[in-house]
Structure 1
Amino acid sequence: MGYILELLRQYGMSECNPVATPSECITVFDKSCEKLDKIYPYREIIGALMYLSVATRPDIANTVARLAQFVNDPSKAHWNAVKRVLRYLAGTADKGLVYQRTALPLVGYTDADWGGCTSDRRSYTGYAYLLSNAAISWKSQKQRTVALSSTEAEYVSLAEAAKEAVYLRSLLLEIGTKEFTDITIYVDNRGAQCLASDPVYHARTKHIDIKHHFVRECVSKGLFTLAHISTHEMLADVMTKPLARVNHERCRTGLGLTA
Structure 2
Amino acid sequence: MNLLKQYGMEDCNSGMTPSEVNVKFPDSKKLSEVNHYRELIGSLMYLSVATRPDIANTVSRLAQYVTNPSMCHWLAAKRVLRYLAGLAHRGLVFRKTNDPLIGYADADWGGCTVDRRSYTGYVFLISGAAITWKSQKQRTVALSSTEAEYISLAEATEEAIYLRSLLTELGLQEFIDITIFVDNKGAQCLAGDPVFHARTKHIDIKHHFIRQTVAAGHLKLQHISTHNMVADVMTKSLSNVNHERCRTGLGLTT
- Given candidates 9, 12, 34, the residue that maps to 2:28 is 34
Question: Aligned residue for 2:46?
Answer: 51
- Given candidates 194, 208, 213, the residue that maps to 1:218 is 213
Summarize deviations over 1:88-124 as a string: whole Å, max 9, x none. Answer: 0000001100000000000000000000000000000
Q: SS of the residue aligned with 2:121? A: strand
Summarize deviations over 1:159-192 as a string: whole Å, max 9, x none. Answer: 0000000000000000000000000000000000
Structure 1, gaps ≥5 residues long: none
Residues of 2 paired with 1:125 and 1:68: CA distance? 16
Letter in 2 for 1:131: I
Question: Aligned residue for 1:18?
Answer: 14
Residues of 2 paired with 1:91 and 1:258: CA distance? 13
- The 1:17/1:224 distance shift into structure 2, 3 A limit, reads same
Q: SS of the residue aligned with 1:170? A: helix
RMSD, matched Cα? 0.9
Letter in 2 for 1:142: K
Between 1:152-161 and 1:33-42, the stretch displaced more is 33-42
Residues of 2 paired with 1:250 and 1:173: CA distance? 32
Tell me if 1:7 matches 2:14: no
Cα distance, 1:157 vs. partner?
0.2
Question: Aligned residue for 2:178?
Answer: 183
Structure 2, gaps ≥5 residues long: none
Question: Aligned residue for 1:160?
Answer: 155
Letter in 2 for 1:195: L
Cα distance, 1:33 vs. partner?
1.8
Cα distance, 1:38 vs. partner?
2.5
Letter in 2 for 1:139: K
The answer on whether the counterparts of 2:31 and 2:69 sit within 8 Å (CA) in structure 1 is no
The answer on whether the counterparts of 1:35 and 1:74 sit within 8 Å (CA) in structure 2 is no
Cα distance, 1:37 vs. partner?
4.9
Residues of 1 paired with 2:31 and 2:161: CA distance? 48
Residues of 2 paired with 1:71 and 1:35: CA distance? 15
The TM-score, its normalising length taken from structure 2, stands at 0.98
Letter in 2 for 1:57: R
What is the aligned residue count? Answer: 253
Q: Percent identity?
A: 70
Q: SS of the residue aligned with 2:246? A: helix
The answer on whether the counterparts of 1:18 and 1:90 sit within 8 Å (CA) in structure 2 is yes
Summarize deviations over 1:131-164 as a string: whole Å, max 9, x none. Answer: 0000001000000000000000000000000000
* Moved >3 Å (runs of 4+): none
Q: SS of the residue aligned with 1:83? A: helix
Cα distance, 1:229 vs. partner?
0.2
Residues of 2 paired with 1:73 and 1:11: CA distance? 20
The TM-score, its normalising length taken from structure 1, stands at 0.96
Question: Aligned residue for 2:71?
Answer: 76
